[in-house]
Amino acid sequence: MKPNFAIIGCGRIARRHAEQITKAGYLLAVCDIIPERASELAQEFGARAYFSLDELLQKEPAVDTMVICTPNGLHAQHSILSLKYGKQVLCEKPLCINSKDAKKMLDTAANAAKQLFVVKQNRYNPPVEAVKKLLEEDKLGKIFSFQVNCFWNRPPQYYSNSWKGTKDMDGGTLYTQFSHFIDLLYWLLGDVKDVKAIVKNVDHPLNEIDDSGVVLIEMLNGSIGTMNYTVNSYGKNMEGSFTIFGEKGTVKIGGQYLNTIEYQCIETEELQNIPPGNTANNYGFYQGSMSNHGKVYEHLIKALEDPAYEFASALDGMKTVEIIEKIYTAAAFR
């Protein structure tokens, strides 16, 4: 039987979810504190509109899974309330914006015996999947070092009259723009041992958060690397890349959105016939990461049916939050 969903938060990303939900299950309800947003999304997808999460949870007992698409700073509150009502939860990235809240979310899910997942769609980029397989099969050998580059453009218009750019609701550029890159660092290479960082806001004076940073990272596996990020790439997104240097090979996932194998020299094989990835999420005056929400829901349905199925969990989401906290703490920027 196909599951029943509800969405809280009816901004741009909610439409991506609604489109996939109608393929994977049934969208029964949507909720937003801005009534016209909820009403518009509800009308488009044949759902019921609510303007209060409590009311939705009370009046929609048939909903199996809540999808959290609200601002970053509300993810913990809305996920925890949904879990307490006995709902499974899929939370947009980031899971939340501090590890204390992440722990509460995991504890609530455990106490409610419900599953809490987080959206990590860049794991499904074909080049990323190919490199993950190389690492799992030890075809790169011992990993010596790595480099992560995130060079995007977010103009003042992106932050205007928005929760984005605020400390309490956004949390930081690493949460809103580049948490997928932090997730891939953890997913591909394991946990972080230590970081040193310089983080600044150099071109968004009205924002309370960073727009650029340089991070030096030591992993638990002994490898070392850097992460360079900015939202000040002039005019458009420039690059999203991840390069790995191992004893048996070097490979770079590149392009604007980690969407191509840009370089490879591997002892045992060459990566070939990698299928093209999806286009980036296009929001008019800016572009986001690759649009892999179809893959997210394909795997979510399997995970809802089988709790042992591997899918991006709340623990994965918490690790991303912990690593970002380490970076901002090291930079003394928060």
DSSP one-letter code for 271: -
Report whether 6 contacts 88 (CB < 8 A). Answer: no
Tokens standing for 197? Answer: 């960082």
For the stretch 142-200, pLDDT in tens is: 999 999 999 999 999 999 999 999 999 999 999 999 999 999 999 999 999 999 999 99
| Bridge partner list, 7 | 30, 67
For the stretch 36-54, pLDDT in tens is: 999 999 999 999 999 999 9
Q: For residue 110, what are the contacts with CB-CB under 8 A and spacing of at least 6? A: none
The residue among 311, 333, 272 whose CA lies nearest residue 183 is: 311
Question: pLDDT-based confidence at 5, cuts 50/70/90?
Answer: very high
- The reported pLDDT for the residue numbered 176 is 97
Q: For residue 39, what are the contacts with CB-CB under 8 A and spacing of at least 6? A: 49
Q: What SS3 state is found at 181?
A: helix
- CATH 3.20.20.30 applies to domain 4-121: no
DSSP one-letter code for 113: T
Residue 1 has pLDDT above 90, yes or no: no
Please report, as a single letter, which amino acid is at residue 303: A
Do domains 4-121 and 123-288+313-330 share one topology? The answer is no
Residue 273 has pLDDT above 80, yes or no: yes
Residue 127 CA to residue 277 CA, distance in Å, equals: 8
Q: How are strands ordered across the β-sheet holding 192-200?
A: 192-200, 212-219, 224-230, 143-151, 239-246, 249-254, 260-266
Higher pLDDT, 29 or 288: 29
Residue 218 CA to residue 327 CA, distance in Å, equals: 12
Distance from the Cα of residue 45 to its chain's centroid: 24
- The reported pLDDT for the residue numbered 275 is 82
Q: Are strands 224-230 and 143-151 parallel, antiparallel or unpaired?
A: parallel
Helix or strand holding residue 232 (H, E):
none
For the stretch 228-255, pLDDT in tens is: 999 999 999 999 999 999 999 999 999 9
- The reported pLDDT for the residue numbered 278 is 62
HSE value, Cβ hemisphere, 13 Å, CA-based, for 205: 0
Name the least confident of 135-139, 199-203, 257-261: 257-261
- The reported pLDDT for the residue numbered 283 is 53
- CATH code for residues 123-288+313-330: 3.30.360.10
Domain boundary assignment for the chain? 4-121, 123-288+313-330
- The reported pLDDT for the residue numbered 334 is 66
Average of per-residue pLDDT across 300-318 = 94
- The reported pLDDT for the residue numbered 284 is 56
Residue 279 has pLDDT above 70, yes or no: no
Cis bond leading into 155, ω under 30°? no
Q: For residue 162, what are the contacts with CB-CB under 8 A and spacing of at least 6? A: none
CB burial class (10 A; 0-12, 13-18, 19+) of residue 65? buried
Residue 259 CA to residue 240 CA, distance in Å, equals: 8
Tokens standing for 53? Answer: 């999460």
Average of per-residue pLDDT across 83-108 = 98
For 136, phi and psi rounded to 5 degrees? -65, -35
Q: What integer best gives the mean pLDDT of the chain?
A: 95
- The reported pLDDT for the residue numbered 83 is 98
Please report, as a single letter, which amino acid is at residue 259: N
Question: pLDDT-based confidence at 287, cuts 50/70/90?
Answer: low
DSSP one-letter code for 279: P
Neighbours of 238 (CB within 10 A): 16
Name the residue with tokens 């089988």.
306
Residue 128 CA to residue 178 CA, distance in Å, equals: 15
